[in-house]
Amino acid sequence: MKKVLFFLLLLACNRGYTQLSVVTGYDYIGRNTFHTGLAADIDISDHWGALLTTGVHLTGYEGSTRGIFEATGAISYNRIFAGATCTPYSVIPKIGVGQKDLYLYVGYAIPTKDHSPLDKGVAVGININPLYILMLPLALIIGDPLK
């Protein structure tokens, strides 16, 4: 089954329906967290799309650094998306705006365990493709939009 799913993913990437990228970002989920992971952006039509990410949140908790694994699924229409992030400690429904390489979101963290490093409450974040950060200074130096 894993081989079949991997083959379908490679086929989708080859046909141009899916773009895989690395994402990094900052999230506030009751505490400061830094996020890094992989994202798959799936183009369903001209207006509709899907965003799937997986990665790890790094945060300080009780005097040490913890890594919290997460998976996110979202549906987008033009530049607006709605979805949810699931971690072992909470579920975070969220809405946001953005494009493939940069997006902002706001949501609400709902803890699933009593002693959770992610507190209940409002969650906000920004995620960006690291290559986007490298291209921005080049665009300022060149002065013309990158194509």
Q: Which CATH number is associated with domain 20-142?
A: 2.40.128
Listed range (17-26, 49-58, 108-117, 132-141) with the worst mean pLDDT: 132-141
Q: What's the whole-number mean pLDDT along residues 80-104?
A: 88
**DSSP at 99:** -
pLDDT at 16 over 70: no
pTM: 0.73
pLDDT at 107: 92
**What are the sequence ranges of the domains in the chain?**
20-142
15 phi and psi angles, rounded to 5 deg: -80, -5
DSSP calls for 82-106: EEEEE-SSEEEEEEEEE-SSEEEEE
pLDDT higher than threshold 60 for residue 55: yes
pLDDT band for position 4 (50/70/90)? confident
The answer on pLDDT for 139 being more than 70 is: no
DSSP helix/strand/coil, 13 = helix
